[in-house]
Amino acid sequence: MTLSNRMKSAAYVFALCLLALVLSPRTADAATATTTFAVSATVQATCLVSATPMSFGTYTGAVVNTTSTVSVTCTNTTTYNVGLSAGLATGATVTARQMTGPSSAVLGYSLFSDSSRSVNWGQTGTETVAGTGNGSSQALTVYGQTTAGQYVTPGSYTDTITATVTY
């Protein structure tokens, strides 16, 4: 092969290599951009309340003791007070609650915040039960007691108490 042919061949190979290099796929250089954004929320103090029924069973004229549970769930660190209404009987008060029975007869009972049944559980002030929420259900026992020596009309007696949580 002559020098001229070798040079032509070398030039041809060089041109092919150059063409292959130019036409070969290339990866693009990656670029990024960033930003930030604020995230916020406002947690409002809140409480939920529920209660179990209270049943004195059969009353025979003797004192009957029973309990109910008021469950309070409040947001963490929320202070609260739980008050209990006088009930629905005409003339009932938080210190003299009454269940209504046949022909508007009434059967007296009391609600207390302590197991010795000495602290009346009322609706306002010092007669309420205070607590601080922790995000979980907190059980408060209501201690009920009928008054002895009531000889009322036989039949079924009922009342409805409203538990109010103030926070």
Which pLDDT tens digit goes with each residue over 114-136? Answer: 999 999 999 999 999 999 999 99
Q: What is the pLDDT of residues 17-51, one digit of tens each?
A: 556 666 666 666 899 999 999 999 999 999 999 99
For 78-116, the pLDDT digits (tens) are 999 999 999 999 999 999 999 999 999 999 999 999 999
pLDDT for 25 equals 67
Domain assignment present for 22: no
- Given this model, what pLDDT does residue 29 score? 81
Q: Three-state SS string across the chain, please?
A: CCHHHHHHHHHHHHHHHHHHHHHCCCCCCCCCCCCCCCCCCCCCCCEEEEECCCCCCCCCCCCCEEEEEEEEEECCCCEEEEEECCCCCCCCECCEEEEECHHHCEEEEEEECCCCCCCECCCCHHHCEEEECCCCEEEEEEEEEECCCCCCCCCCCECCCCEEEEC
- Note whether residue 16 is domain-resident: no
Judge whether 18 lies within some domain.
no
Q: Which residues constitute the domain of residue 68?
A: 47-166
Looking at the domain assignment, is residue 91 inside a domain?
A: yes
